[in-house]
Structures are given as structure tokens and as C-alpha cells.
Amino acid sequence: MMKTRQSLFYLFIALLAALYVPVGHAAEENSGSGSPEPQTQKYISCILLSDDAKTLWIGKTGLLEEWDYETGGLKKTYRTLGDLPLVVDNVHKLMIDLLSDDNNGLWAVTPQGAVHLHADGTHETFLHPNVTWMPDQFSTAVRDHKGGLFLGSWAAGPSHIHADGSSELITGTHPDMPADTPYIVSDAAGGIWAASQKGGIAHLKEDGSLQLFTPENSPLRGRMERSLKDDGSGGFWAHSKDKDEKYFVHTFADGNIELFSAKTLGSPHARFHVIEPDHSGGIFIISGSHADPGIQFYSLRHMAADGTLNIIYDTWSSSSQPIRLDCFRGDGKGNLWLSTNEGLYRIKQDQSWEVFTHENSNLAEDTRYSLYPDGKGGIWINSSKGLSRFESGVVSNIIHY
């Protein structure tokens, strides 16, 4: 009997609650790091493998670590990035994301700003008040596929930092762009989709044109909730809520929008439902309820692009007991990964599955994993004892704590 599960908007809670990662001793610290590191827990929030696959970057609360991917050795620890401190008044700043600049450099993004670290060691810092118009509360970041990036914010609308260092606030050039757009996602063509918490969707295209979708001119209902998820074809999936009704929203690359009732697609017995795209036009639907720790996982379903709905796992139609789900992630290849108290599950697009444990693989342990796609076709698997990478059926232990 298959065991599977997870929850998206609870992924972050599971990460912070379940994953304590001790910080290693750096071989070299960057200049200007200042006082000794405050004694506090550090959590991994994002991982990036460099374009040449030689460097592994690990973003934590208050730290950025640079690891030698080939040897597994820690090369450098950053507590400041240019003019951007990662620890302020003993408060550790969250690393929102690490993104490639497509030239062996990277973008490091925190709520306070962004830093472009070039492959030659030079850097540029973008934060308020250095850039006077720039807001000081970012929420998401996506690449523009030209070496720059877009940033979402809670109250100022999206920003665009170009590869040449120029930057702009989108609401300055497009006054109709909603300001409350914390959630953005790439349209895979040089533009972005941005969701307003008030219920609208904006599509900023690569040519600079702006298209707006509201409940008045589209099927949208209620307000958008949580992050947007790339569908693999230039569109995205999202959650929305209208009074007591919750929906899964599929916005296609051409602007067509479809709504699906969460109650209809998910298990009727669960308290919440979350989705993960399969990158072929369909979604995995995870249903469960709150538990301590993790999530009580009741069912996993798959809806294909043609609307066909299949039940992969359901405790209510079998004698199985709910599994504890700690976290789940898609890997960009259409696979769904589930970290459970009984092992690490990979659910494929064809709905077949396999489980990895300490006994049948070289994973560090059998429980409390956190998962991070690396953007290179692999997924990083983190536990309290080590960081491993899975690719092409092989689990490799890279870093041991």
C-alpha cells in the first residue's frame, strides 16, 4: 500500500518547525562580517547549484554558504552581501531565494533587497535607500531569462532589476499594475504573472504590455491565496478563496482561466487541499488536516490535463492510517516528492511511485526531510544529519553535518 502526502502552504511551517541545521565552520569568512556569529538556530531556506555545477550555494536565516560541490567542503560563509546585512541587531534575515544569472553568478534575495554576485567576485547591491524607489519588503523573486530578475512585494508592486544593473518599479511605468502583488511567477517568455491579494491577476509581457484579469472580466472569484506555481507551459496554478469556497485556479499562457472546486477534487473528509503541478497541464492534489508535528495526510489524487481524476492514495477507502507528512515539492520534471515519517516518496506523472529509506538507499535517516529542487533536474534532500542530492535514480550524500 502506498504511503504519500504533503502540504504546500505548510511546507514553510514544516521547514521552520522541523528542520534544524547546525552551521559548519567556514574555511574563510567574507570581510566585513564583523562580530562573532549570534548563537541561534539556522534553517536552510533555498539551495542553488551553479551553472558550471562546481559550487553549491546554501541560503539560511542570517547566512549564505558557498560549498565546493565536488569535494563537499565549505569554502566561505557570508553574513553580509555587499551593503546588505544578513543579521541586523541580532535578528537573522530570511533568504527568500537564490537564482542563477545564467553566467555562473547568482542573485541572492532577502526581504530587504537583492545582491548580484558575479562569477568574477564583484557584486552589485539593490536595496532601499540605495535605490530610492525600491520597497523594503520583498516576498518573491523570479528570473527574467536575460540575466536579471523580477521581485514581488506586499505593497509596492513588482520591481525589475535588469542584467545591466538598471532597475525600475513596475507601477511607475504601469500605473494599473496592482500594488499588493506578493506572488509572482515567470511566464517563460521574459514576462511575469502577478497575483493581487484582492482577487486580480496581472500579466506583464516581455514587450512591456500589461493585461489585467479581474472577477468582472474573467472567471476569477474571491482573492488569491499563497504562491503561484508554474505549470511548465507559461501559465500557472494557484489557490483562491471566495467566502467559504476554495478553488484551484489554472491560468494558461494565453490568458484563459479555469476554476476547479477544491472540495470536488480533494478528499471530502480533509480540512484543507493543496496542489502541485505535474508540468504536463495537470496537478497533484494533497488533502489532509493539521497535526503536531507535520500534517495528517489523508489522500493524494491526480487530475490530468484532460480533467481525468484518479485517486492514488486514500485512507478513507482503505484500512490504512493517515501518514504524517512533513513536506512536499515538485522537482520541475513532473515528479512529486513527499517527505513522510515512513520514508521519502517519489510520485511520477504516470502515478507510479517508489519509496526511499535509510535501508534501501544512502539517505541519512528515514524521517523529517525537507526538499529543495536545485533547478538542474535534481532535488536536494535535507535532514538533521546530512544533505543529499537525488538525480537519475541515484541518491548521493554530499554534505554531512
Mean pLDDT of each 10-residue bin along the chain, 401 residues long: 35 32 31 33 79 89 88 87 73 82 90 89 81 77 90 90 90 91 92 88 94 92 83 92 88 94 78 84 84 68 91 70 78 84 83 82 67 78 77 67 57
> 319 is written with which cell numbers?
484500512
Q: What is the pTM of this model?
A: 0.81
Residue 203: the pLDDT is 96
Whole-angstrom distance, CA of residue 213 vs CA of residue 225: 16
Sign (positive/negative) of CA torsion 13, 44, 313, 332?
positive
Residue 132: the pLDDT is 67
Strands (E) across 271-322 are located at: 272-277, 283-290, 295-303, 309-314
CB atoms closer than 10 angstroms to residue 267: 24
Whole-angstrom distance, CA of residue 236 vs CA of residue 183: 11
Upstream peptide bond of 129 is cis (omega within 30 degrees of 0): yes
> 287 is written with which cell numbers?
488533502
Whole-angstrom distance, CA of residue 103 vs CA of residue 99: 11
Q: Are 202 and 190 in contact (CB under 8 A)?
A: no
Domains of the chain, residue spans: 1-23+266-401
In 3D space, the residue among 73, 13, 70 whose CA is nearest the CA of residue 45 turns out to be 13
3-state helix, strand, coil in the chain (%, to 5): 5, 45, 50
Nearest-Å Rg of the Cα atoms of the chain is: 21
Whole-angstrom distance, CA of residue 72 vs CA of residue 386: 11
Alpha carbons within 13 A on the beta-carbon side of 221: 14
Whole-angstrom distance, CA of residue 14 vs CA of residue 369: 9
For residue 200, which phi and psi values (nearest 5 degrees)?
A: -100, 165
Whole-angstrom distance, CA of residue 301 vs CA of residue 179: 35
> 239 is written with which cell numbers?
489557490
DSSP structural state of residue 24 = P
Sign (positive/negative) of CA torsion 14, 275, 396, 103?
negative
Q: Are 157 and 150 in contact (CB under 8 A)?
A: no
Q: Which helix (H) or strand (E) holds 99?
A: strand 97-100
Whole-angstrom distance, CA of residue 195 vs CA of residue 203: 9
Please tell me whether residue 364 adopts helix, strand or coil conformation: coil
Q: In Å, how far are 68, 83, 149, 202, 211 from 398, measured between CA atoms?
A: 10, 31, 29, 41, 45
> 353 is written with which cell numbers?
511511485
The CATH number of the domain covering residues in 1-23+266-401 = 2.110.10
Residue whose entry in the numeric block shows the C-alpha cell 487541499: 273
Residue 319: the pLDDT is 57
Whole-angstrom distance, CA of residue 247 vs CA of residue 221: 8
